[in-house]
Amino acid sequence: MSRLLYVEGTVDRTCTQSHITYSFHIPQPTETIRIHFSYTPKLLEDQEQARGIIEESMCKYGYDEPGHSSDLWKKYIPLQNLLTLSVDDPVRHRGNAHRPEMQQEHWLGSSAASPGFLAGDHPAGMWRITVSLHAVVTETLAYQIHVLGEEAAYA
């Protein structure tokens, strides 16, 4: 098994609703691609910060004026960070993992793949993996991506 990509990153709230794309090279066709993805923390524990974010969002999207209904914000707690992954090979989009778990394992094989991804050949060339930062509610959030390539037993 060979390491194709390993990255660590830290983002903050200003990164919400943005994307970070990494490229990695596969020098020769690979039998299986394994992706280990994790991030932490998951929850915003500070209730006052959560209240501020929720009331600001409610005002922005026309739900209510801040403080108008004092307990309405509690309906949306706990606030959670949400990051998801998508993968593209040199030729086509290979799928997405829209899952809320902080630690995820995905794989793309020639005849089967994790839910959300397409099985098939793994051509040599530049691949891309994109982290979509749907919500970063904590002041900072750390993530790791580890991509491994597994050669076919007959190779």
Contact 108, 117 (CB under 8 A): yes
pLDDT at residue 65 greater than cutoff 80: no
The alpha carbon of residue 113 and the mean position of all alpha carbons in its chain are separated, in whole angstroms, by 17
Per-residue model confidence as pLDDT tens digits over 67-99:
556 788 898 999 999 999 999 999 999 999 999
Q: Supply the pLDDT for residue 69.
A: 63
pLDDT-derived band of residue 63, with 50, 70 and 90 as boundaries?
A: confident
Torsion over CA: 84, 13, 144, 79 (sign): negative
Q: Supply the pLDDT for residue 61.
A: 85
Cis peptide before 78 (omega within 30 of 0): yes
What rounded mean pLDDT belongs to the chain?
A: 92
97-121: average pLDDT: 95
H or E element that contains 55 = helix 47-60
Q: Strand 2-12's sheet: what is its strand order?
A: 2-12, 140-150, 32-40, 103-108
